[in-house]
Chain A
Amino acid sequence: MTIQIPTALLDGSVLAILDSQDMYGYLLTKEIQKHVNVSESTMYPVLRRLQKNGDLITYDEAFEGRMRRYYQITPLGQKHLVEIKREWQDFSAGISEILGGAA
């Protein structure tokens, strides 16, 4: 059985990665996939929604004669990231108490 990542955690993961560095779609997808199993087609709707909510902005930058659309976290996105982190810590602590933690 695989546990599917809930929307809020995927949002949090995207925001957390972008909080350390701006990224373009392909790189961001690969970065997320290093850690959790999400399908390629999941990412675009997530980015679109986060952008619409004001958590992200985009800008285009030339790279080797082509454009790359970069995603950048906004102060609002950072605020949401803090909230998601806190909720996740509460949640994971609770589940770990029941199921047993990794530590």
Chain B
Amino acid sequence: MSYLQDLQANLKALPESEISDAMLYYEQYFYEGQLTDGQAVSEFGTPKNLARRLVADYYMDEARDVPEENQKSPLGLAKIIILALLASPILIPVAITVIALIFAIVVTFAALAFSLIVLLGSFGFAAVICVIGGILVLTQSVLGGLFYIAAGIAVIGGFILLWPLIMSMVKGLKHWVFVMIRWIGKKTVGRKGVQDDA
């Protein structure tokens, strides 16, 4: 297999368009430089090493360039950082620790958000039951029935008032997860220089 074929075979982790851009660049470079496969190895390292650097570099850029405003998807960011970690030359135990940390953060906050929603949801549900129960006992005890109906409606009112607050709390949580994951990503896969060891 030629150097370039070998390189291409090792770039599979990249998106299609990235592979074709990189291959075009290196094909032209090799042609202009009249590089033999042996010279290519001495200039660029083995195809496998070059491919690994290109893949790592791509995912590091992806992880670093996630814009500040784009806080919609902490999970998407976590995925990119995990890919970058796996592609980067970081020691495997370190990478596993960081991935576990990201996983723990995501799970913790998902559980928090979930319990908030369930808590509020059950209040709402209880309030509806209260109103229905109140209506049902109305024939037996007007005062008791009215009490349950009023209590249920009051809780529903509170529920409607609180809902946007809870939702913004969930959104806030999501934002913090995003910020934490991004911070971890910057500390682990972010780089200061583009120089490599070659």
A40 close to B31 (CB less than 8 A): no
- Asked if B22 is at the interface (CB within 8 A of a chain A CB), the reply is yes
Option from B24, B54, B194 in Cβ contact (under 8 Å) with A69: B24
- Asked if A10 is at the interface (CB within 8 A of a chain B CB), the reply is yes
Known contacts A7-B194, A10-B194; is A41 also within 8 Å of B28 by CB? no
- Asked if B1 is at the interface (CB within 8 A of a chain A CB), the reply is no
Q: Which residues of B contact A48 (CB under 8 A)?
A: 21-22, 58, 61
Chain A nearest CB: distance from B81 CB in Å? 18
Report, as a range, how many residues of chain A touch the other chain.
Answer: 20 to 34
CA of A21 to CA of B148, assembled, Å: 82
- Asked if A27 is at the interface (CB within 8 A of a chain B CB), the reply is yes
CA of A26 to CA of B21, assembled, Å: 15
Chain B nearest CB: distance from A48 CB in Å? 7
CB-nearest residue of chain A relative to B26? Answer: A44
A5 close to B195 (CB less than 8 A): yes
**In the complex, which residues 11-45 of chain A have their Cβ closer than 8 Å to any Cβ of chain B?**
24-27, 29, 38-42, 44-45
Report, as a range, how many residues of chain B touch the other chain.
Answer: 20 to 34
Known contacts A52-B61, A69-B24; is A4 also within 8 Å of B50 by CB? no
A40 close to B28 (CB less than 8 A): no
A40 close to B43 (CB less than 8 A): yes
Option from A4, A25, A39 in Cβ contact (under 8 Å) with B28: A25
**In the complex, which residues 55-89 of chain A have their Cβ closer than 8 Å to any Cβ of chain B?**
66-69
The main secondary structure of chain B at its interface with chain A is: helix
Q: Which residues of B contact A44 (CB under 8 A)?
A: 22, 25-26, 54
- Asked if A46 is at the interface (CB within 8 A of a chain B CB), the reply is yes
Chain A nearest CB: distance from B49 CB in Å? 9
- Asked if A6 is at the interface (CB within 8 A of a chain B CB), the reply is yes
B26 close to A27 (CB less than 8 A): no
B196 close to A39 (CB less than 8 A): yes
CB-nearest residue of chain A relative to B21? Answer: A48
Known contacts A40-B44, A41-B45; is A66 also within 8 Å of B195 by CB? no
Q: Which residues of B contact A27 (CB under 8 A)?
A: 32
Known contacts A41-B45, A44-B54, A49-B61; is A69 also within 8 Å of B25 by CB? yes
CB-nearest residue of chain B relative to A49? Answer: B61
Q: Which A residues lie at the B interface, using CB under 8 A?
A: 4-7, 10, 24-27, 29, 38-42, 44-49, 52, 66-69
Q: List 19 A-B contacts (CB under 8 A).
A: A5-B195, A6-B192, A7-B192, A7-B193, A10-B194, A26-B28, A26-B29, A27-B32, A39-B43, A39-B196, A41-B45, A41-B196, A42-B195, A44-B25, A48-B22, A48-B61, A52-B61, A66-B31, A68-B28
